Amino acid sequence: MSGPGAASRDAGLQPERTRLAWRRTTLACSVAAVLAVRQALHGSGSPLRVAGTAVIALIWLAFLGVAHVRMRQLATARPPALAPRVALGAVLCTVALALFAMTVIF
């Protein structure tokens, strides 16, 4: 949006909705990580599964860090735009979590 009123734009509840969306995504990521760990613990316990579970836990922690940074930014009066580095981090964590979860399951 550009023009004379762009600088004084009232974001309304949009930052709050975005922050809640980040929380929902974090919850979904947590559930996926817990289910993958559960599958690995109730499985054969092979070294590959254990290593995959450890990687999943690290990816989950990285995603929690990325989400925490963004949620703190959204709590300000004028939140900055999503940085490309944060967006890339979230995408990489999501894709990596899905890939490693498949390795633990199979």
pLDDT, tens only, 35-63 = 877 877 776 667 777 777 788 888 889 98
- Max Cα-Cα span within the chain: 64
Angle (CA) 69 83 63, round 5°: 40
Residue 6 has pLDDT above 70, yes or no: no
**Helix or strand holding residue 19 (H, E):** helix 14-41
Residue that wins the pLDDT comparison between 67 and 11: 67
Residue that wins the pLDDT comparison between 44 and 89: 89
- What would the mean pLDDT of 29-38 be, rounded to a whole number? 82
Query: What single letter denotes the amino acid at residue 47?
Result: P
Strands (E), the chain: none
What pLDDT is stored for residue 7 in this prediction? 55
Q: Does this model's pTM top 0.85? A: no
